Structure 1
C-alpha cells in the first residue's frame, strides 16, 4: 500500500492517480434530508456486515475502498441515494439495477437507487458482496 503524503489517502499502487481534495463526508451530507442521511448510514452499516472499508470523499462522490475503490455513492438526492457497483461482468437479469454502463474492458458499472431501507434487500447485498470480494481478489493479485 502507498499513502499519498499530501492527502494521506491509501492506495494499492505507488503514486496512483487521484485528486487530493479537502472535501469531507460531512460536506456531502450537509443540507441533505433526514431520509437521505438515514439511507446513507444504513447503506454503510450494511456494507460493514460484509467487511471493513475506508471512506474516500472525492470531488463528486464518496467511494468505499478496501484495496481499491469497490463502490461509489455518487448522488445524494432529496429522498434517495444513488450507488454504483463496478462488477466484472454484466448482470442485466435483475431489476435491482436501474442503469448499467461499461467501464473499459474489465468492469461494468451497475447503478442502484435506494428510496427506502427495504430497497437494500438480499439481492442487492449479493451484488454488494460481489463488488467487495472482487476488490479483495485484486489485493491478493498485486
Structure 2
C-alpha cells in the first residue's frame, strides 16, 4: 500500500492520493480557511470507515436489509510531551432497516475484535469502544 502527498498551496493544504488515483485533502484546521480535514480527524474517519465496511459486509452476508447507515466518532486526546495523541475513541453506529439488533451488535464486535485493521493499528495505545443503535434503539 502506498500513497503520495503533495503540498498544493503556500500553507498547509496537502492532497493525498492512493494508487487508484482517489484523493483526500489534509489541512491545518487551526487556520480559519482550512480546506481539508486535519490528520487526526482523518484517523477518526479511518476508524469509522474501516469498521463501517466490516459491519455492512457482515450484515449483507446475513441478508439483513440496511436502509441507512451512519456513524459518529469522538476522540479524546491527551498531552504527551509536545504531541496530543488519542487516548480513547468511541464510535456510535446508527442503522435503520430490517436488521436484527443482535446481529448488528455482533457485527460491530467482530469488526473491532477481529477485522478492523485501523483500530487494531491503534491498539494498545488507544481504547476504541463502540455502541450500536438499530432503528433508534440501542442494541
Bucket of the pairwise TM-score, normalised by the shorter protein: under 0.3
With normalisation by structure 1, the TM-score equals 0.26
Higher strand share: 2
With normalisation by structure 2, the TM-score equals 0.26
Q: Pick the structure with greater CA Rg.
A: 2
